[in-house]
Amino acid sequence: QVQLQESGPGLVKPSETLSLICTVSGASISSHYWTWIRQPAGKAPEWIGRIYSSGTTDYNPSLTSRVTMSVDTSKNQFSLNLRSVTAADTAIYYCARARYCTSATCFGGLDVWGQGTTVTVSS
Partner 1 sequence: IQLTQSPSSLSASVGDTVTITCRASQGISSHLAWYQQKPGTAPKLLIYAASSLKSGVPSRFSGSGSGTDFTLTISSLQPEDFATYYCQQLNSYPLFTFGPGTKVDIK
Which residues contribute to the site for partner 1 (CB under 8 A)? Answer: 44-47, 49-50, 58-61, 94, 96, 98-100, 103-111, 113-116
Smallest gap, in angstroms, from Cβ of residue 73 to partner 1?
22
Smallest gap, in angstroms, from Cβ of residue 61 to partner 1?
6
- How far is the C-alpha of 4 from the C-alpha of 17, rounded, in Å? 22
Smaller CB distance to partner 1: residue 18 or 94? 94
* 94 C-beta neighbours (distance < 10 Å), count: 22
Smallest gap, in angstroms, from Cβ of residue 74 to partner 1?
26
Smaller CB distance to partner 1: residue 58 or 89? 58
SS3 content of the chain, % helix, strand, coil (to 5): 0, 50, 45
Instruction: Judge contact between 85 and 16, C-beta under 8 A.
Output: yes
DSSP code at position 15? T
Smaller CB distance to partner 1: residue 62 or 84? 62
